[in-house]
């Protein structure tokens, strides 16, 4: 079964980081240009926050919100929930479904190696299930029964 690290390595898009003093306007531009739904905020080498498209919607409803002036550091989620690099697909699904997250950063040896979305994991689960089904179908094919000696 695939692990979080394997999914990160196979992922087509890279992980984007910004500093806390980046304006929300600039963050939104990065997200649109790269077609991503979440961005990580780093101070030095440490991930200190995450901000998603869902957070953007919530922030826009705030009175006086100005995306050209507001800093991402003032609006990011600081209680970042990480998954470990060796977690299985089912463990990752547990994070997404149980905690109602859509994005989760992956840690290996204390360092963030990437971010996965619920869609990344669902796609991998579907591919895995398809592979398992094909293997089972091959085992119980008609040829299997034709070789039985009555």
**Residue 87: CB atoms within 10 Å:** 20
Which pLDDT belongs to residue 150?
Answer: 59
Residue with token string 């869902």:
54
Q: Is the pLDDT of residue 145 over 70?
A: no
Residues 6 or more apart from 113 whose CB is under 8 A from it? Answer: 5, 8, 85, 106, 107
SS3 assignment, position 18 = strand
pLDDT in tens, 110-119: 899 999 999 9
pLDDT in tens, 121-136: 999 999 989 998 988 8
Give the DSSP H/E element, type plus range, for residue 99.
helix 89-99
Q: What is the pLDDT of residues 10-48, one digit of tens each?
A: 987 789 999 999 999 999 999 999 999 999 999 988 999
Residue 135 confidence (pLDDT):
87
How far, in Å, CA of 97 to CA of 118, rounded?
Answer: 9
Q: How confident is the model at residue 144 (pLDDT cuts 50, 70, 90)?
A: low
Sign of the dihedral defined by the CA atoms of residues 73, 77, 80, 83, in that order? negative
Angle 54-55-57 (CA atoms, 0-180°, nearest 5)? Answer: 65
Collapsed DSSP state (helix, strand, coil) of residue 104: strand
Residues 71-115: pLDDT tens digits?
Answer: 999 999 999 999 999 999 999 999 999 888 899 999 999 899 999
Kind plus residue range of the DSSP H or E element containing 84: strand 83-84
Mean pLDDT of the chain: 90
Inter-residue contact 128 to 89 (CB < 8 Å) = yes
User: pTM for the complete prediction?
Assistant: 0.82
């Amino acid at each position: 079964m695939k692990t979080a690290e394997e999914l990160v390595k196979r992922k087509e898009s890279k992980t984007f980081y910004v500093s806390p003093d980046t304006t929300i306007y600039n963050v939104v531009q990065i997200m649109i240009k790269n077609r991503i739904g979440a961005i990580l905020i780093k101070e030095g080498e440490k991930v200190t926050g995450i901000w998603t498209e869902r957070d953007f919607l919530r922030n826009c409803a705030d009175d006086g919100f100005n995306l050209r002036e507001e800093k991402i550091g003032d609006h990011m989620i600081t209680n970042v929930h990480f998954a470990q690099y060796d977690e299985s697909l089912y463990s990752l699904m547990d994070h997404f479904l149980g905690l109602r997250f859509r994005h989760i950063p992956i840690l290996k040896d204390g360092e963030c190696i990437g971010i996965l979305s619920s869609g990344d994991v669902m796609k991998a689960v579907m591919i895995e299930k398809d592979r398992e089904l094909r293997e089972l179908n091959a085992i119980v094919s008609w040829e299997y029964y034709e070789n039985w000696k009555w």
